[in-house]
Chains A and B, each alone.
Chain A
Amino acid sequence: DQQVKQNSPSLSVQEGRISILNCDYTNSMFDYFLWYKKYPAEGPTFLISISSIKDKNEDGRFTVFLNKSAKHLSLHIVPSQPGDSAVYFCAATEYGGSQGNLIFGKGTKLSVKP
């Protein structure tokens, strides 16, 4: 049973446009959500996170939106750059009551075309 789902295996956007990556979760106890970027042969790199008490968090070109009622979060990248091409993982955890191990989705491969 997959608790974190990324239903789009891949996404292709033009340089300068917006990239929107989506993630759904099923466990209502999750209270902290993260996005990681992964290049081939490297470990995941932390991008941005959001606590369940917020619905939006921004960091430069990256914005994460959280819709708790829909159990949905999204990552917006504006403007997209070729260097953003990577696999993006959504992750969630229940910090409030547990050890904080992350539950990951399967990832979305983003390709930004010049």
Chain B
Amino acid sequence: DTGVSQDPRHKITKRGQNVTFRCDPISEHNRLYWYRQTLGQGPEFLTYFQNEAQLEKSRLLSDRFSAERPKGSFSTLEIQRTEQGDSAMYLCASSPGLIHNQPQHFGDGTRLSIL
């Protein structure tokens, strides 16, 4: 079991730049979730995929954010025209999906810092 893998672990960029993060879920997990965590808060849901279909988006996911899971395996999260408020830890999680009451397993996250 290789677990959920996220890349990069850290990203520092200037305001206005675009950034892209990658998540590799546990193999054969159908569901993939993106969360954002800021200091002193718990993770907050952004969006999720069932296989390659993006089925839900949080109101936190502004139009500058886009997520894909093209072949139902890895996923990418892109933030365009980054802003100071985008500084956070971006977490990816996966679960078996169609089986109820199965926990989500998280990666170690990508920490984004906007200068």
Instruction: Give the interface of A toward B (CB within 8 A).
Output: 4, 32, 34, 36, 41-46, 49, 51, 89, 91, 95-96, 99-107
Contact = CB atoms under 8 A, between A and B. Distances in A.
Given A43-B108, A103-B45, 8 more contacts: A34-B104, A43-B91, A44-B43, A46-B105, A99-B48, A100-B31, A101-B58, A102-B35
Interface in B50-84: 50, 55-56, 58
Contact of A43 (B31, B41, B56, B106): B106
Chain B contact-residue range equals 20 to 34
B40 interface: yes
Interface of B: 4, 6, 31, 33, 35, 40-45, 48, 50, 55-56, 58, 91, 93, 95, 100-101, 103-109
B11 to A, nearest CB: 14
Nearest to B49: A99
